Amino acid sequence: MTDRHTPGPWTFSFNGSSPKVVDAEGKAVCMVTPRKNAWNAHVIAEAPAMLDALRALLFDCEAHGLTDNDAHLREVRAILARIDGDAD
């Protein structure tokens, strides 16, 4: 598993008229326009944390014996495969 995205944490930043998501160094990860879509930037800013939590949750589920018979775990694996670029 290789992280190909800009490493987190990301934060929402709004200065003036351009809401954006920035990395730990303050570099823009995503610009959001128009201003009314700033809510999307809040969701995007949490993407690295959600990805880490999803991977940890999958690990814990597998460690406790949950298998591919669970539709939710299959969905999580498919999502992670798409994020990692391993999906068709």
Give tens-digit pLDDT for 50-80: 999 999 999 999 898 887 778 888 899 998 9
Instruction: Give the Cα separation of 88 and 69 in Å (integer).
Output: 21
33 or 35, which is more confident?
A: 33
DSSP 32: -
Q: Is the pLDDT of residue 85 over 90?
A: no
CB 9 within 8 Å of CB 49: yes
Domain assignments of the chain as residue spans, ordered by start: 11-84
Q: Which of 16, 46, 47 is nearest to 33 (CA)?
A: 16
Between CA 60 and CA 31 the distance in angstroms is 34
Res. 9: pLDDT tops 70? yes
Phi, psi of 28, rounded to the nearest 5 degrees: -65, 130
- Asked whether residue 40 carries a pLDDT value surpassing 50, the answer given is yes
